[in-house]
Structure 1
Amino acid sequence: MAAPSGGRAARGLSRASLSIHQPPTDLGGSMGGAIGEVKFQFNPDQLRLSRSADWHTEPAVAYTRGAPPKFTGSRPAAMELEVFLDASGTPSSTAVQSQVELLLSCCEVTAQSVDSKAPSPPWVRFSWGSFSTVQFVAYVTNVAATYTLFSPSGVPIRATCSLSLTEVASETKKQNPTSGALTARRVHRTVAGDSLASLAWREYGDATRWRVIAEANGIDDPMRLRPGTELLLPSAAELPSSHAPHPSPVRPASTPTEGAA
């Protein structure tokens, strides 16, 4: 199969990517730590975006051309695209196989979500430069991989993957009347074994960000975290740039790695 007509992304051009994250630990939470990323060798030739709204009309004898429709809700956006992977220049490479396996894992429950008693496949975010229309959090509903070229030893070195993504629905964002900030926090009730470090790992993919949770809840002694305590967890988007999630998180210890603030 020939490379897409768009060609390999040249220097200076924005390259599309699909970042894969742990799912939230409860309904309404934000994405967790990074699992991996698929960087497109070739930007897509086309993207199929769709969005739909539901309307319902009840039969009524008083209207000659049918009763007025009633809006019943919007459906999440959906996107379909293809990912072209090619390592034919280095036949001994297993990069194509690894990337395909990463994409297929988007339809499998993560071990961390099982441990958190909230089983779920990963959540993903597709991004492509300033194309903001497609930059939404989603889950993968279908992955189909077709291997089209193999090395002499049988290792796949070229593949085309078709992806179907569905946007994760969220409530309409509202302004915080006191600060003007988006209300992007949620409440977590601690259980036995929870620590600020483990919560930071689940929320941001970086256990060293436990101070963010401590500051948001006025905690002076992070060693005293009793089961049943309700904590406000700022979303990753709410963190200052210095607190951005680390791309390669390290699993937390049972207690914070730093001293109390």
Structure 2
Amino acid sequence: MAGKQWFKISSWDVDNNKAGSVTPFQAMINPTGYAIERTVSMSKRGKCDGRVGEALTLEDLVLDGTGVVPGPTGSAQSVEAQLDDLMAVVQIAPSGEKMVYPVVELVWGSLYYLGRVTSLTTKYTLFAPDGIPLRARVSMKIEEYIPDTDAVADSADAATMTKQLQVDAGMRLPELCFAAYGDAGMAAAVARFNGLTSMRNVAAGTSIDCP
């Protein structure tokens, strides 16, 4: 039986297609669930470009500061300290003369998601006698990350060209697709192309054909 997996959210280095340098946030208590909304933009006449947008809503991520619940590291941490760690990953940051929302990577079990946190709500639910928060619930909405690049290849080229990539230890198919195409959303299509039954559990050393 596999060991318990903790929900983790990390910054994502867009330029280098890998996790960023900011220390990841790892939950002390896993979320109660999440929802994925898929939407399509269309004209009044029902025309669209065929792309489906996604947004993930994370429900009730509990921050516990009572000291009763052992976290992934086994040490207690205050609610505010946990919230600071989370905000360090998801908050807007300067980029040149502009402020940008960073891309984040969510990993939990079979969930792998790249996106930008567009809303974050913190509800404080338990307090010490002096008013210090002992428990809070965080809800977030993460919009799918779509690289601001041209198409991966011309359709004619894509039909005739295939490159082979190797799956490294610990790598998930969405990560490989992000490296190959700049779009983790290609994972389902690549899995079908290679006859894979899972996008999440691909053995290290497997050769993947990327059209």
For Structure 1 versus Structure 2, the TM-score category normalised by the shorter chain is 0.5 to 0.7
Aligned to 1:84: 62
Offset at 1:143?
0.6
Residue 72 of structure 1 aligns to a residue whose secondary structure is coil
Residues 128-159 of structure 1 show CA distances to partners (whole Å, capped at 9, x for unaligned) of: 12x2xx41211100011112222344432211
Alignment partner of 1:109 out of 73, 92, 96: 92
Task: Say if 2:17 is the partner of 1:33.
Answer: no
Would the aligned equivalents of 1:107 and 1:140 in 2 still touch at CA under 8 Å? yes
Letter in 2 for 1:156: P
Aligned residue in 1 for 2:188: none
Whole-angstrom distance in 1 between the partners of 2:32 and 2:42: 33
Residues 108/16 of structure 1: CA separation in 2 closer, same or farther (3 Å cut):
closer
> Partner residue of 1:42?
29
CA deviation profile, 1:161-213 (whole Å, cap 9, x unmatched) = 11110110147766794743469479xxxxxxxxxxxxxxxxxxxxxxxxxxx
Q: What TM-score results when the alignment is normalised by the length of structure 1?
A: 0.48
Counterpart mapping for 1:80-229 below 5 A: 80-81=57-58, 82-89=60-67, 94-105=77-88, 108-110=91-93, 113-114=94-95, 116=96, 119-129=99-109, 131=110, 134-170=111-147, 177=161, 179-181=163-165, 184=179
* Structure 2 residue 31 is matched with structure 1 residue 19: no
CA drift of 1:73 comes to 4.0
How many positions carry a matched residue from both structures?
Answer: 157
- Which has more radius of gyration? 1
Partner of 1:55: 42
Q: Which runs of 5+ in 1 are unaligned?
A: 1-10, 59-68, 187-240, 242-261
Q: Distance in 1 between matches of 2:50 and 2:161?
A: 27
Contact 1:94 1:157 in 2 (8 A): no
Please say if residues 109 and 122 of structure 1, whose CA atoms lie closer than 8 Å, have aligned partners that are also in contact.
yes
- Residues 154 and 72 of structure 1: is their aligned pair in 2 closer, same or farther, counting only changes over 3 Å? same
Query: Are the counterparts in 2 of residues 76 and 168 from structure 1 also a CA contact under 8 Å?
Result: no
